[in-house]
Structure 1
């Protein structure tokens, strides 16, 4: 028997088994009227109402529906009300400019665009057949209406198109199928041990790789989901305490915000010995990982993946064999990207690029056959990341291949240097890049944000680094910044940091 795997499998189970349980606690402080607490039965009804509204608008199966929104119960509903009925959801980063959003809407061919009230003034003139402001068009949704079921459910149909903010001039639309999303969600839930005794906090933007798949797995397991609209370290701790949160996902910058807030927290840290925090986006320094365990008492879980892989490729959780290690030794092991998730095969090309093959790998890039062919050449997905598997079967990411610094003929991992510099107590943030050098080809530049009140000098940073890594890996130049620009999900885009230093050169490496 072959039954198509679709995302509505998760909401159907939630409604059947956990119908009267509070499934979603919407953000109370938002410009749209909060939906408050919704049971899973009410969430399913809202998803059906959304599907019926699309039907009345003439948005058919396979048509695209875009939504640019902060985290909200309405965005969560769209994963089921749009994708679950054979249409294609296009979640858009609400931090993008008007022109960037317009490009995505036009490129995807979306017939409908829902926008958050906070950004409606910037997006009101985008050329789209139907534009609605979230919370201001509730008349669209009749919860007594019964939508027409998806005529021929197909697990290989595109469920979402997620636009990446990579190194190309224009974002690429990643086509993820129902099979991709279903496999990612169930695999993630299995490795993380998600159960109906958990409480999930949506700190991760839902638009980013579909919230890493957590909206699906938590819904299917009947997990109460607490919506957080805007990230704030102290507010995260307050909601962990108020709602008994046990699981959340975060980029390293969010982890840092929670750690900073914990230093000012009055009383025991909420969630000690209860919370699992799943981190991805960049390998956090070992010092940060150790602080999560020591200062918060939370379990640190590292994952690695890309939007193109739904995203889970590897996972790294502390295991029984590490129980007797010191916190610091365990943190060093947890810095690795992790071991391949169930169903994931990893390989490497001759230059060390990480290749992946799995049911979570994208169908292709929307309306971009050349890039699709390139990234899936040879039957493997080409990640663009350089790495290796160690003897324990754990993947370590050396760096984006294009960001590896080659100085004096030696390859230097910027991540290794960043970890060494970040171990200095006066360093709040650091990014390491390669810049042109007549003598060495490239030399190492560290962009450093000092902690408040610090008098840290360039030589202090260089000396500290030389004491921890090979001398040739230490930066020759240190520049101090007030902050480092990051993407909406906390990632440093090093190609942007590098750009000013290479602007007058035809080649971007030496």
Structure 2
């Protein structure tokens, strides 16, 4: 179905989609979480109560609200409640801490903050003298009252008018600010209009041919745009969503069978993990119809479709540029390609002067929409970076690619220094800054190197200060204290020098081309383990928490 053409632009707001579905089918299942099932009507009424209580607390249209919470029913209600009010939701990566967290909170301009209890200490570490917010709520799983500086989230769940608010909101207003990795600088907050955020979900539903009998598995955190567009796609296709805190490979197929899952996002090497299990006669009887694989695993693409009886779709896209290249369920398969140009966008491959290059030639991928508000609205508090990225009437992706004579496009590499690991975008700049905090480190260089299961691993090369010593194990411990777990490097080299240009700039392309060598320290080969709960030395028996990956 052509979902994007079915809804008037002024109605492309996530809360409007919810309210309309709830009005038509209030008793229909919206999603399940754990053992609980939530209907459209009950969920919408709960979001309305929450919205009115938020407004009574001082959070209203235009308020920037930072959220540091894990996936929960409360978070999902909170997101929809903020949309109903016209507040700006700023979901923060729950693994951020210290300077990274402070940068996000300062840059986004938040005056309100809502956190899970487990992140209150992380917030205090970022703001040891007190966080500068006018309104602060803490959500606790238990009965204990929050710390004195926080208001209790439970007051937001108290009884209130549960009818739709119907605030006169504009679809072009900013609904959310999502931070994506920086390249030669700190992480950037992409401003997303209501229309753009909704359109992302509508395009996802189109690409995957979603129907009213689809069950969409959503295990991605809500500080990623994917968790949001999966929720929106569920509303527009009139299907159901199975919500999880995070992916568990060990219970994946049990979830598929129990809930009849038909669609999920195969990001971060998940396809490789699933295909690695022994083949079973049950594979072809799976309910899976479509896997949205980004990137498409060309080496195992046909095996996945054969083995699981499904169709793989793929795109080229980002938080900023939308989904300008796509291969939908209706398209042929072209190995290695990320698709053809979407009917909603123009795409070109250009040289350093923004001039189009020829067929087969590599250049930067640039994008512009054919309709208003189908790309991001700029970077919050970064006007210079916004102007540079949107120069010459094209949004510059920072990625390199080429196209063939039949109009199929191929992603070649990143023109930037970002690293993609297990579905997370990592700024090499931020890795380098945090590694260099170690007193023995004079200079740090972070680059991507291919992972065995797809995407990248983080590789760090460090030059030490004179008369200082440092072991890879010591640096690993340092990194685990200062970085999100997914950013901690797997490979470490302590070197005397790195390749440079005549102007002393590091030639990262040479480092990437050479790859880790025999002297490179490999965390996994050495037996060290990194999880969400910390770093564990060789020989430690680590029992993962339920649902951990």
TM-score, length basis structure 2: 0.68
Residue number in structure 1 paired with 2:505? 507
C-alpha contact 1:180 1:362 (8 A) present in aligned 2 = yes
Residue number in structure 1 paired with 2:385? 371
Residue number in structure 2 paired with 1:337? 338
How far apart, in 2, do the equivalents of 1:498 and 1:367 lie?
Answer: 36
Q: Relative to 1, partners in 2 of residues 1:450 and 1:65: Cα closer, same or farther, differing over 3 Å?
A: closer
Residue number in structure 2 paired with 1:24? 31
1:485-496 map, 5 Å: none
Instruction: Identify the match of residue 415 of structure 2 among 401, 418, 427.
Output: 401
Residue number in structure 2 paired with 1:306? 318
1:7-156 map, 5 Å: 7-27=14-34, 36-124=36-124, 126=127, 127=131, 128-129=133-134, 130-133=136-139, 135=141, 137-146=153-162, 149=165, 151-156=167-172
The total of aligned residue pairs comes to 418
Q: Which runs of 4+ in 1 moved over 6 A?
A: 487-494, 496-502
Residue number in structure 2 paired with 1:347? 348
C-alpha contact 1:46 1:143 (8 A) present in aligned 2 = no
How far apart, in 2, do the equivalents of 1:272 and 1:68 lie?
Answer: 36
How far apart, in 2, do the equivalents of 1:343 and 1:490 lie?
Answer: 34
Residue number in structure 2 paired with 1:245? 261
SS in 2 for 1:206: coil
Q: Relative to 1, partners in 2 of residues 1:77 and 1:346: Cα closer, same or farther, differing over 3 Å?
A: same
Deviates more, 1:373-382 or 1:141-150: 141-150
How far apart, in 2, do the equivalents of 1:498 and 1:356 lie?
Answer: 38
Deviation of 1:120 after TM superposition, in Å, equals: 4.0
SS in 2 for 1:365: coil
Structure 1 unpaired stretches of 5+: 29-35, 323-329, 405-413, 416-432, 434-443, 452-481
How far apart, in 2, do the equivalents of 1:493 and 1:18 lie?
Answer: 49
Instruction: Identify the match of residue 294 of structure 1 among 300, 306, 331.
Output: 306
How far apart, in 1, do the equivalents of 2:233 and 2:451 lie?
Answer: 38
Q: Relative to 1, partners in 2 of residues 1:5 and 1:449: Cα closer, same or farther, differing over 3 Å?
A: closer
TM-score, length basis structure 1: 0.73
After superposition, give the CA deviation of every residue in 1:93-125 in whole Å (9 maximum; x if it has no partner): 112224422332222122332333444443356
Deviation of 1:500 after TM superposition, in Å, equals: 7.7
Deviation of 1:12 after TM superposition, in Å, equals: 1.2
Q: Relative to 1, partners in 2 of residues 1:399 and 1:24: Cα closer, same or farther, differing over 3 Å?
A: same
Residue number in structure 1 paired with 2:326? 315
Residue number in structure 1 paired with 2:238? 222
How far apart, in 2, do the equivalents of 1:489 and 1:102 lie?
Answer: 17
Deviation of 1:141 after TM superposition, in Å, equals: 1.4
1:155-234 map, 5 Å: 155-211=171-227, 213-234=229-250
Q: Relative to 1, partners in 2 of residues 1:222 and 1:2: Cα closer, same or farther, differing over 3 Å?
A: closer
After superposition, give the CA deviation of every residue in 1:340-390 in whole Å (9 maximum; x if it has no partner): 223111012224111101132111111111011011111111000111222
SS in 1 for 2:137: strand
How far apart, in 1, do the equivalents of 2:163 and 2:453 lie?
Answer: 56
How far apart, in 1, do the equivalents of 2:486 and 2:340 lie?
Answer: 23
Residue number in structure 2 paired with 1:441? none
SS in 1 for 2:300: helix
Q: Does 1:361 align with 2:375?
A: yes
Q: Relative to 1, partners in 2 of residues 1:239 and 1:501: Cα closer, same or farther, differing over 3 Å?
A: farther
Instruction: Identify the match of residue 389 of structure 1 among 390, 403, 406.
Output: 403
Deviation of 1:147 after TM superposition, in Å, equals: 7.6
Deviation of 1:210 after TM superposition, in Å, equals: 4.9
C-alpha contact 1:27 1:229 (8 A) present in aligned 2 = no
Q: Relative to 1, partners in 2 of residues 1:383 and 1:121: Cα closer, same or farther, differing over 3 Å?
A: same
Q: Relative to 1, partners in 2 of residues 1:215 and 1:258: Cα closer, same or farther, differing over 3 Å?
A: same
After superposition, give the CA deviation of every residue in 1:291-316 in whole Å (9 maximum; x if it has no partner): 3223333321112101112x322222
How far apart, in 2, do the equivalents of 1:375 and 1:155 lie?
Answer: 23
More helix, by proportion: 1
SS in 2 for 1:102: helix
Deviation of 1:318 after TM superposition, in Å, equals: 5.4
C-alpha contact 1:61 1:150 (8 A) present in aligned 2 = no
How far apart, in 2, do the equivalents of 1:492 and 1:393 lie?
Answer: 39
Deviation of 1:497 after TM superposition, in Å, equals: 8.8
Q: CA RMSD in A?
A: 3.7
Residue number in structure 1 paired with 2:13? 6
